[in-house]
A and B are shown apart, each in its own frame.
Chain A
Amino acid sequence: MNSILPKFLTDLLLIVYGLYRFSVRYFKEVFKPPYEFKETFRQFFEIGNKSLGLVSLTGFIIGFVLALQSIPMLTKFGAVSLIPTMISISIVREIGPVITGLICAGKIGSGIGAELGSMKVSEQIDAMEVSATNPFKFLVVTRITATTLMIPLLIIYADTIALIGGFAAMNIFSGQSLQLYFSTVFSALSFADVIPATIKTFFFGYAIGLVGSYQGYNASRGTESVGIAANVSVVYSSIFVILLDMVAVQLTMILY
């Protein structure tokens, strides 16, 4: 039967429907005992600790480059003193969450997609199922919970490192002191900046865990599907991070 919709749109709708069903199953299983605490904590470590290096490096560079690019331009207008304010608001509200979210989509989303895809292909998920255990609870619930809780922490950490990066540039190229920089940074920030920006990161984390787990868990047979699961996980979780950010910004503008 020929569909009246283009193939990519049909595929997209099928994925969105699949994610919806996966999401419903997650919320059914997450509160139902027995709980897989040990595996959840292992995932906290895998997702959080092992991403620290990458997130630190990118966070520092983002802050450093943002300050570096702004110094010459704002010097012309005699507005160098506004740079810490600009950096703090732009990093905490937007750049920190989105860039770190995209990095996590690449590193963590692809990792989950490839790991679960490989387990599916090598029949390890089937083996869990036939041993009368619940692979969804052990593999999926633990990973989605871990990304939902750890990615916000990684983003808060990345924001902090980016602000430090901004200070490094300001100190090296403009001679600004640590005390002046951070007092300007914190006086520019309000809860109206921090809270909505933090809330949206939980959704980023949830989307990254959900998409990676869905793609891996539903990988078809064959080694090729492992690569596809990893690749599609990155593409779709990145799109979801950007879409969720857009929705979050709109909601924040309405509420504040």
Chain B
Amino acid sequence: MNDIPKIETKPPDGKEIIIEISNLKKTLGDNEVLKDVNISIYRGESLIILGKSGSGKSVTLKCIVGLMTPDSGKVNVLNINVPELDIDELQELRMKIGFIFQSGALYDSMSVRENLEFPLVRHEKLTDDEVENRIKEALTNVGLVESIDKMPSELSGGMRKRIGLARTLILKPEIMLYDEPTTGLDPATSKEISNLIIEMQKKFKVTSVIVTHDMKCAKMTADRIVVLKDGVFAAEGTYDELQKSDDEFVRGFFE
């Protein structure tokens, strides 16, 4: 990846910037979803992105991982501008990023074991025993080692999300992107998933970017929260700071 343009960043207060988005614009159809998004995300932090449905939170995540190409602007991940990468360079970068989908996105036709094996055997040269150990280790981390031979259709919504998390963590990424990880789950399971996010963050020291509507999840997991409104980040702060915000729109999320 020698030819990829690298942008030097000056981290404030000794913090290292791991993702830097500047002047990001993205239009879907006639709708200008992201108008001018600017943010720096620091290594090891847990950032929550709040916003109404359709405000472009998931689009921002997809631009970070290269699933969507922005109309303009820069998305520097680990000092590499994602929109300028070719497919091979993008694949190399994606090894360092994990993405948890709202639905879990488990491969329906494969068992849990095959789901976890899928990315592993394609990226690392391991013996069968090593693959088995890595799969069991990943499943132990999410407390579902007994489900190793089940098919996704036999799992509950919460279990699917935990398996999705295990499948992503098996490649030991530096950055985790969560797209509404607790949507559609009951409060108890939502709490379990939130705890798991915190646990994994501490254990693997990953940087987490979480898109959510679930304020309990936000309160538990957030180091910092940003609010997306009309295609720009309208507010930024800790949970307690934003809860006392003067802006009615921002306060609305906490009521």
**Residues of chain A having any CB pair with chain B under 8 Å:** 34, 118-119, 122-124, 126-134
Contacts and interface: CB of A to CB of B under 8 A. Distances in A.
Nearest to A122: B103
7 contacts: A34-B122, A118-B108, A119-B108, A122-B103, A123-B103, A129-B67, A134-B91
A127 B91 contact: no
Contacts, number: 56
B122 A133 contact: yes
Contacts of A131: 94, 99, 118-119, 167-168, 171
The B interface is mostly helix, strand or loop, or mixed, namely mixed
A179 B171 CA distance: 64
Contacts of B167: 131
A131 B122 CA distance: 10
A165 B119 CA distance: 48
Contact of A124 (B102, B105, B122): B105
A130 B108 contact: no
Contacts of A134: 91
A134 B88 CA distance: 10
B122 A126 contact: no
Contacts of B171: 131-132
Contacts of A118: 108
A25 B230 CA distance: 38
**Residue among A123, A127, A129, A133 facing the most chain B CB atoms (10 A cut-off):** A127
A123 B105 CA distance: 6
B118 A124 contact: no
Contact of B94 (A123, A124, A130): A130
B204 interface: no
Contacts of A123: 101-103, 105
A126 B108 contact: no
A108 to B, nearest CB: 16
A133 B98 CA distance: 13
Contacts of A132: 91-92, 94-95, 119, 122-123, 171
A130 B99 contact: yes
